[in-house]
Amino acid sequence: MTKAKMLGRSAIALAISAGISTAPAAFAHGESAASLAGAWTLVAADVEHPDGTRARDYGAAPSGLMMIDRDGHYSLQIFKAERERFVSGDKGSGTNAEYKDAVMGSSTHFGTIEIDPAAHLLVFHIRRASFPNWEGEQQKRTYELNGDELSYRVVARPNGDVPISVWKRME
């Protein structure tokens, strides 16, 4: 898929999420979504293991796009570059291994986001997600915003791994 098609689909997903979310997020300390508004491209999708070592969570060259509007509606996609194509060429006729690779090689969700700069917290109010267990959840993530680079740490997984996403604001 071309970058233009991916951007177009992401814009559609963002427009849909903006239209079906019930209300914009409330922003703490007078901070608004405007500070994060725009399109962000994925720089890294790593994971920190309990022993402190770090690894690539979505392979050596993951790609992703996060879009946030001024009212706090967001759409986020992360893809592993090395995902296997389905041998059949048919999404409905994949093998168990192909389906697993497709699911584990991507993370997508949309909803609203709020920011608490004093606590260095982003709060994702997830409306829909490729992992259905996240739907309706409120996920808090510690973040750092340095110029045009945003990084955040996701809450630890059951095995203790902590995903870390790094994004760069697109011009």
- DSSP assignment string, the chain: --HHHHHHHHHHHHHHHHHH-SSPPP-GGG--GGGT-EEEEEEEEEEE-TTS-EEETT-SS-EEEEEE-TTSEEEEEEE-TTPPPPTTS-GGG--HHHHHHHHHTEEEEEEEEEEETTTTEEEEEEEEESSGGGTT-EEEEEEEEETTEEEEEPPPPTTS-EEEEEEEE--
CATH number for position 159: 2.40.128.280
- Average pLDDT of the segment spanning 116-121: 90
- Average pLDDT of the segment spanning 148-170: 96
Which of 12-26, 29-43, 49-63 is least confident? 12-26
pLDDT over 60 (residue 29)? no
pLDDT at 161: 97
Average pLDDT, the chain: 85
Structural domains counted in the chain:
1
For 111, the domain range is 3-169
pLDDT over 50 (residue 75)? yes
- Average pLDDT of the segment spanning 27-52: 82
- Average pLDDT of the segment spanning 13-25: 41
- Average pLDDT of the segment spanning 21-46: 69
Of residues 127 and 7, the one with the higher pLDDT is: 127
- Average pLDDT of the segment spanning 39-53: 97
